[in-house]
Amino acid sequence: MKMKAKIALALMSGTLLLSQQAAADTKAVSLNEAELKEATQVYFDRCAGCHGMLRKGALGPELGEAKTKAMGTQVLETIIFNGTPGGMPGWGKSGELTKAETNLMARYIQTTPPPPPEKSMADMKKSWKVLIPVDKRPAKPEGGRNWKNYFGIILRDVGKIAIVDGDKKDIISVVDSGFATHILRTSKSGRYMYVIGRDGKASMIDLWMKKPENVAEIRTCNDARSIDTSKYNGPKGNYDDKLVVVGCYWPPSIVVLDGPTLEPKKIVSTASYTYDTGEYTREARVAAIVASHHDPEWVINIKETGQVWLYDYEDVANPKITMIDAERFLHDGGWDLSKRYFLVAANAKNKVVAVDTVEKKIAGIIETGANKPHPGRGVNVDSKKYGPIWGTGHIGANSIVFIGTDPEKHPDNAWKIVKTIKLPGKGGGNLFIKSHPGSKYIFADRPLNPDRKLQTQIYVIDKATLEVVKTLPMPDEFRGEFKTSDGSKVKLRGPVHFEFNADGSEVWTTVWGHKEIPTAILVYDSNTLKLKTTIKDKRLLTPTGKFNVANTMDDIY
């Protein structure tokens, strides 16, 4: 069997029934001490998020030694370098791994996983820094800008955040962050923008400063994906800007920090038993977190155990936790229009779970009928036909589904798929879908689709008809080949992630590419769909997620 055929077999079937020749190629896989150290870090940075620190899988498949050895080094190298149609990035094609690093990782995942590092409160405190004390920060916004229309732009692979003025379209500052920053969240007032990197580094940017910069930082864990703030203000107290929570992948835990300083206050382990089989799992990681508007609580997804935790932060030292059995493996999600129901993808089971945060129970579990839902925060629409609905795309399929979310006024549609649309062509690759009350359209990306044309288009969906009405191609200047420092020729991956300005009149997306090649922010009129502005700057390296202050403050999506 030729190598291409073996690779195709592995990708199509998801099994490792490959030839004896592939297995024989890797009988004696070994790494020296330096290689093991390097490979462990690369795996930690690039692979653990989907495959797990212990390689037991979640969004990505498990990587047990028997499986990987059966595939062989050459097949594994090809998959790691080029990616897969099911949504795995092409780490080599994007320039994030060299050919030598790709070979190293292909060998590494055929060996026994080393025990991952732990982290204590004392470890955290060693890394905690208040860079600018609270009393030395501005008493009011400086610079005369409309700071609530600022955008935080993640420059993912260079570990930085660009703060961009949404009115003037200029970069105000570029701030250091952790490795491969995952998301940004604002405090309730919007003044502080909180950053979490995949290396567990949390930092906070003061947007009132004339040139926004970090005012505090801490390494909360070794691997993380989520951060949010306390947003409850009501009869039980005012918690605006008071607390921050970080959800850790490793060690699997919840870390509560002081809002103004990031001083660590509490660690809660999430290692527990799976909701369905009662199997203990050390690797019970925290995925998405949202801040409840009804109670002083955070809604926290525990990925591997399939539970949603409602974490009451009234007494920081003695938290109350309501554990709600849901589904595995929980990932990203967001609020419905009423901000009562939290909808989250259990993407390995192709389901969406709706949690009622008032009644504190499951409202519904919906099968999406497609492979690996990946909503980000999802998209909300107040449909004339169906009532309030929430939508998600899929990494592994070209389906976008819309679910009814109003059991009171539209009970016949509640917790059911009311509409499924198909994106053009074949395959998935969708990562994000977004809209705003100020726009009549929904926007979807597809940067992980292997088809170059499909990968580099923006998909525009009419809110009224819930149909794709237009595709916007990536501008020609970003479509060719670009040369890197090692002489390689690469192509930019395409538009990724959407965010609107404060009034919803503009939608912003970014050209995701190689970390050596500056790209751009594309600003479209969100109703005429005309490209208004292309923001270019040599500092815009691998721009990905975008977070507008006003929209993030109020959970508008």
Output the tens digit of pLDDT for each of the chain's 557 residues. Answer: 444 444 444 443 343 333 334 444 445 688 998 998 898 888 877 888 788 888 888 778 889 888 998 999 999 999 998 888 666 878 887 777 888 999 999 999 999 888 888 999 999 999 999 999 999 999 999 999 999 999 999 999 999 999 999 999 999 999 999 888 999 999 999 999 999 999 999 999 999 999 999 999 999 999 999 999 999 999 999 999 999 999 999 999 999 999 999 999 999 999 999 999 999 999 999 999 999 999 999 999 999 999 999 999 999 999 999 999 999 999 999 999 999 999 999 998 999 999 999 999 999 999 999 999 999 999 999 999 999 999 999 999 999 999 999 999 999 999 999 999 999 999 999 999 999 999 999 999 999 998 999 999 999 999 999 999 999 999 999 999 999 998 888 899 899 999 999 999 999 999 999 999 999 999 999 999 999 999 999 999 999 999 999 999 999 99
Active site residue 209: no
Considering the domain architecture, whether residues 80 and 215 belong to the same structural domain is answered as: no
**Cβ neighbours of residue 410 closer than 8 Å, sequence gap 6 or more:** 386, 387, 388, 404
Say what the pLDDT of residue 28 is: 64
> What are the structure tokens assigned to 544, written together?
């990905």
| Other Cβ atoms within 10 Å of 255 Cβ, number | 26
**Active-site entry in 331, 394, 410, 514:** 331
75 domain-assigned: yes
42 domain-assigned: yes
Kindly tell me the burial class for residue 129, based on how many C-beta atoms sit within 10 Å of its own C-beta (0-12, 13-18, 19 or more): middle
152 domain-assigned: yes
519 domain-assigned: no
Say what the pLDDT of residue 6 is: 44
146 domain-assigned: yes
25 domain-assigned: yes
Dist. CA 476–CA 474, nearest whole Å: 6
Considering the domain architecture, whether residues 8 and 122 belong to the same structural domain is answered as: no
**Active-site entry in 71, 88, 105, 193:** 88
pTM as predicted: 0.87
162 domain-assigned: yes
**Active-site entry in 182, 374, 436, 514:** 374
Q: What is the 3-state secondary structure (H, E, C) of 196-249?
A: ECCCCEEEEEECCCCCCEEEEEEECCCEEEEEEECCCEECCEECCCCEEEEEEE
Active site residue 47: yes
Domain boundary among 46, 81, 108: 108
Considering the domain architecture, whether residues 59 and 167 belong to the same structural domain is answered as: no
Considering the domain architecture, whether residues 157 and 32 belong to the same structural domain is answered as: no
**Active-site entry in 47, 71, 221, 474:** 47
Active site residue 294: no
Half-sphere exposure of 54 (CA within 13 A, CB side): 12
Domain boundary among 86, 108, 130: 108
Considering the domain architecture, whether residues 10 and 142 belong to the same structural domain is answered as: no
| Other Cβ atoms within 10 Å of 227 Cβ, number | 24
Instruction: Return the closest-CA partner of residue 80 out of 66, 64, 65, 63.
Output: 63
377 domain-assigned: no
Considering the domain architecture, whether residues 63 and 183 belong to the same structural domain is answered as: no
Say what the pLDDT of residue 311 is: 98
Instruction: Return the closest-CA partner of residue 319 out of 246, 265, 358.
Output: 265
Considering the domain architecture, whether residues 102 and 125 belong to the same structural domain is answered as: no
Distances (CA, A) of 407 to 363, 383, 433: 9, 14, 24
**Active-site entry in 3, 50, 293, 323:** 50
Say what the pLDDT of residue 18 is: 36
Dist. CA 271–CA 248, nearest whole Å: 11
Mapped onto helix, strand or coil, the DSSP state of residue 503 is coil
Domain boundary among 77, 108, 139: 108
Dist. CA 133–CA 127, nearest whole Å: 16
- Between CA 114 and CA 125, with CA 119 as vertex, the angle to 5 degrees is 150
Considering the domain architecture, whether residues 19 and 122 belong to the same structural domain is answered as: no
Q: What is the CATH number of the domain that holds 165?
A: 2.140.10.20
**Active-site entry in 51, 182, 394, 514:** 51
Mapped onto helix, strand or coil, the DSSP state of residue 105 is helix
DSSP 8-state symbol, 443: E
Strand 441-444 versus strand 379-383 pairing type:
unpaired
Q: What share of the chain is helix, strand, coil (3-state, %, to 5)?
A: 15, 40, 45
Total structural domains within the chain: 2
Say what the pLDDT of residue 45 is: 79
Active site residue 436: no
Considering the domain architecture, whether residues 39 and 184 belong to the same structural domain is answered as: no
Considering the domain architecture, whether residues 84 and 198 belong to the same structural domain is answered as: no
Active site residue 331: yes
Q: Name the one residue in this structure whose structure tokens are 């002083």.
A: 296
Q: What is the CATH number of the domain that holds 23?
A: 1.10.760.10
Considering the domain architecture, whether residues 135 and 62 belong to the same structural domain is answered as: no
Considering the domain architecture, whether residues 96 and 227 belong to the same structural domain is answered as: no
Active site residue 514: no
> What are the structure tokens assigned to 470, written together?
């237009």
Q: State which residues form the domain around 204.
A: 118-325
